[in-house]
């Protein structure tokens, strides 16, 4: 998903409207899927430390393993979606490496 955000950015830069639309559509589908992986209050209740899991992202729908890198990659994907699909700039200034 992170790479798809970059592909959207490149498609916009080079003016490839066909790919831009396709990539945006696929990314939105992917973001909806990623939200299914997020631990909510009811999902986390069955875990050993629900207070530590809530808001994190499991590995897959069938693998409840919670790892920091799963959550980091998901958040990075969402950040790229906000920036490259919805044109919402980063909240933290000084991170604009991709112009």
pLDDT above 70 as % of the chain: 93
* Nearest alpha-carbon partner for 66 in 81, 85, 83, 47: 47
| pLDDT tens track for 37-53 | 999 998 888 888 999 99
| pLDDT tens track for 10-33 | 999 999 999 999 999 999 999 999
Q: What is the domain partition of the chain in residue ranges?
A: 2-84
Integer CA distances (angstroms), 61 to 5, 17, 31, 32, in order: 22, 33, 14, 13
């Amino acid at each position: 998903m992170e790479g798809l955000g970059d592909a959207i950015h490149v498609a916009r830069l080079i003016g490839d409207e066909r790919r831009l639309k396709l990539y945006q559509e696929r990314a939105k589908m992917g973001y909806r899927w990623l939200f299914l992986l997020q631990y909510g209050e009811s999902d986390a209740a069955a875990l050993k430390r629900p207070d530590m899991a809530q808001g994190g992202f499991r590995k897959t729908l069938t693998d409840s393993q919670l790892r920091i890198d799963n959550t980091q990659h998901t958040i990075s994907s969402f950040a790229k979606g906000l920036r490259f699909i919805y044109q919402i700039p980063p909240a933290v200034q000084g991170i604009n490496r991709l112009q």
